[in-house]
Chains A and B, each alone.
Chain A
Amino acid sequence: MEHQSKETKFFNMTLLLLAGGAVLVAAWDVAVSRFRGGTDDLFFVLVALLVALLFATPPILFGIRTGWFHEKFVIDDEPPATEAAAEAHAEAHGVEGESHGVSNRLFILVWIALLGLTGLEVLLGYVQLRNDLMLTILMGASIIKAALIMAYFMHLRFERMSLVLTVVPAIVVCLCLMLILFPDSFRLFHLR
């Protein structure tokens, strides 16, 4: 048993490393070419990311199956005794406790983070970066913001993992699929 789990761990780590490598390759291409090659680069990056996804799937599934994600990222329905005590303490001091074992302070922190990210975005606009860099950073920041909103404001983090796995991949897959439109638009531009 022990032996087997070691093997699985090794296998998963290798796959994760490979996935990381693929992401690095994609990042490298973006950094070097900055999409000067048009659709070719876009394709290269997309393929590299797909490969990364492929490599990362078994470890992720493994993580889900063994409840690793659940432990790491999901606060349990019933908080352990010590946390409950902490919450009671907080409540006594006038900070609102939440039925999920999360205080409103957390939400305020999230709100501040969102404001901070927005501020950063606006600042970038003020500095006026190059367009492609700007786009990358802005979309990155926006995805983080969206994740924060979904996870905390929309309580997804406190729901069951199965709900997250139902909602998020469907949206992500469909939206990513629509990216296939872009080779066309680049081509149209080159034809103009």
Chain B
Amino acid sequence: MAEHEVAVHAHHPPTGFIKKYIFSVDHKVIGIQYYFLAIFSVIIGLVMSVLMRLQLGWPGHQFGFLKSIFPIGAADGTISPELYLSLVTMHGTIMVFFVLTTAPQGGFGNYFLPIQIGAADMAFPVLNMLSFWTTFVALLVMIGAIFVESGVVGPIGGWTGYAPLSALGEASGQKGQTYGVVLWIISIAIFCIASLLGALNFITTMLNMRAKGMSLMRLPLSCWGWFTTAVLALLSFPVLLAGGVLLLLDHLAGTSFFIPANLFVNDKLITEHAGGSPIMWQHLFWFFGHPEVYIAILPGMGATSHILATFARKPIFGYRAMVYAIFAIGLLGFFVWGHHMFISGMDPRTGMMFSLVTLTIGVPSAIKTFNWLGTLWGARIRFTTAMLFSIGFVSLFVSGGVTGMFLGQTSLDLQLHDTYFVVGHFHMIMGVAAIFGMFAGTYYWFPKMFGRMMGEGIGKVHFWLTFIGVNAIFIPMHIMGIAGAPRRYAFHWNEVTGEGFEFLKGIVPVTKFVSYAAFFTAAVQILFFANLVWSMYKGKKASVNPWEATSLEWTVPSPPPHDNFGGHEPVVHHGPYEYSVPGAKTDFIMQTDPAIAETGG
């Protein structure tokens, strides 16, 4: 068999502005591009959520400024139900796809995976650039969906795009469901392609391009997080792509994959469609959807493990167990999608199977949690901002995971499905735990990416205010859910007109409290953005290894040169978390340090 040689990339730094910053094939530039794409999207999503909370807290009240932003959707100064639903949809879609899927994986993963494994670039640099620009096109199309229809800011079917509403189009008689939803589907389909191209790039890079001595058990846990995420993305996005194609056909070609016969919608009997099944859409969507939630959080888990060990100045507790737990979560993540469909009308016996496997995921999740706690146990912790956010991540992961255990039981889910309890659950774990992972990553890796330190004092203020704020928002939501407040309703009890659910009158003060907390937390994020921009230009210059960490990215200058290691190939001698090793001169041993005997792995 012909020996294949490791492809040698001849790296010459590009010159022109466009080659260097826009259509760059350098993984570092692409990572930063992904990161800023996510920042841009998160701002849109945040504004939408503030508008939603305004409506939920004070339904029926008139706000003059809403009239000027949405002359049709909020003609009398209050947000109309359609507008509200479209806000929900776009908030969810943008946050899940363009923030939680891009920044942790496309952003930090792109930037640091090659450096941490000791490679000069990704395996397919041009493909990498194409994935980013495809994602960008998807974002443009999604933004197009905001503007194509008047009175709404996009489709109204939720981020899950449940059929038959999403498949019906004009016949549904709803705003946002004609061009809006078409653009929405197209955007998601483009995003699928971008993600799976990105994923195969990640997998190839991590398997094929590790430096000498970087054995699998010497990889930083962040790499394992990105790798497992890529595997999940590679195997789940194609299924959503297939579903999206079918949904688009339903919409444009008049087929009825997801539309049953005798549907009575909008005071009309739909006669053109027959024979389909909306449950099939749910299956196809959630086959992707559950792996997707892990796609959002696994990079955060990896980064958290990495940062906890760094600032606890201790080896991570149970490295192998951590790797196996990540794998177990990834694998089991494919088996549980049905827990989103317990009351959809699918076969109840499959529900039992899904319930069982869902509860099983608790085991590897608990392993990870206890190992994080074990790492912190008895450590001399350095409380940097990144560390605070990582500890916050663990805390939020626990509070979100425990409620997942409630929801995973069919009998309890009967009551809790589609209530604010679910909203509380997934915001705790995905909405903030994953975001905390990103914050931690930002504060930790910012010095390497931009060559300057981020403001620590302002960062700590940011952490505490955010941590208190998100708990104030999402813990009451669980209570509202148990009280029976359904999600995706424009209001529960309208004090002005006296409409709504009588039995939910009691939670009105809670709703208002949540809204205040949301405004507060959203406002606090200005600190972060300000800190980010200020530090980029005015921050303290960063040294090569400001955190005294061990992995390879801290052996290269900040920011790293074009080909990362300046042409020479690093050789790895140690595991990634050798802190406070007895007998060593410093309290950390760089992975590349040859002066001390081979260890670990």
CA distance A170 to B338 in the complex (A): 20
Taking CB atoms, residues of chain B closer than 8 Å to A58 are none
Q: Which residues of B contact A185 (CB under 8 A)?
A: 277
User: Which residues of A have CB within 8 Å of B2?
Assistant: 99
B residues near A188, Cβ cutoff 8 Å: 277, 279
Q: Contacts A173-B334, A181-B280 hold; do A77 and B1 have CB atoms under 8 A apart?
A: yes
**Beta-carbon contact of B1 and A158 below 8 Å:** yes
Is the CB–CB distance between A184 and B350 below 8 Å?
yes
Size of the chain B interface, CB-CB below 8 angstroms: 18
- For B2, the closest partner residue in chain A by CB is A99
Encode contact with B along A72-90: 1 for CB under 8 Å, 0 otherwise: 0000011000000000000
A174 adjacent to chain B (CB < 8 Å): yes
Give complex CA distance A188, B277 in Å: 9
Instruction: Check B1–A184 contact: CB distance below 8 A.
Output: no
Residues of A within 8 A of B283 (CB): 181, 184
* Residue B380 lies at the interface, judged by CB distance under 8 Å to chain A: no
Contacts of A77 in B (CB 8 A): 1
Q: Is the CB–CB distance between B335 and A177 below 8 Å?
A: yes
**Which residue of B has the minimal Cβ distance to A177?**
B334
* Bound Cα distance A78, B287 (Å): 43
Judged by a CB distance under 8 angstroms, whether B585 is at the interface is: no
User: CB within 8 Å of B: which of A120-141?
Assistant: none
A187: which B residues are within 8 A, CB to CB? 346-347
Which interface class (under 10, 10 to 19, 20 to 34, 35 or more) fits A?
A: 20 to 34
* Residue pair A99, B347 in contact (C-beta under 8 Å): no
Give the contacting residue for A184; candidates B231, B235, B347, B353; CB below 8 A. Answer: B347
Given contacts A173-B334, A174-B235, A184-B279, contact A43 B349 (CB under 8 A): yes
Q: Which residues of B contact A186 (CB under 8 A)?
A: 347
Q: Is the CB of B1 within 8 A of A183?
A: no
Give A150-190 as 1s and 0s: 1 = Cβ < 8 Å from B's Cβ atoms: 00000000100000000000100110011011011111100
Contact of B334 among A78, A174, A183, A184 (CB under 8 A): A174
Residues of B within 8 Å of A180, CB to CB, are: 338, 350, 353
Q: How far is the CA of A45 from the CA of B283 in the complex (A)?
A: 22
| Cα–Cα, bound, A43→B349 (Å) | 9
Whole-angstrom CA separation of A177 from B279 in the bound complex = 16
- Distance, CA A184 to CA B347, complexed state (A): 5
Report yes or no: B347 in contact with A39, Cβ–Cβ below 8 A: yes
Find the A residue at minimum CB distance from B238.
A174
Q: Give the shortest distance, in Å, between B66 (CB) and chain A (any CB).
A: 43
In the assembled complex, which residues on chain A have CB atoms less than 8 Å from the CB atom of B334? 173-174, 177
**Is A100 in the interface zone, CB < 8 Å from B?**
yes
Residues of B within 8 A of A99 (CB): 1-2
CB < 8 Å neighbour of B349 from A39, A100, A177: A39
List the B residue with the shortest CB-CB distance to A185: B277
Beyond A39-B349, A174-B334, A177-B334, 11 extra complex contacts between A and B, CB < 8 Å: A43-B349, A173-B334, A174-B235, A177-B287, A178-B239, A181-B280, A181-B283, A183-B346, A183-B347, A184-B279, A184-B347
A–B Cβ pairs within 8 angstroms, 8 of them: A78-B1, A158-B1, A177-B334, A177-B335, A180-B350, A180-B353, A183-B349, A184-B277
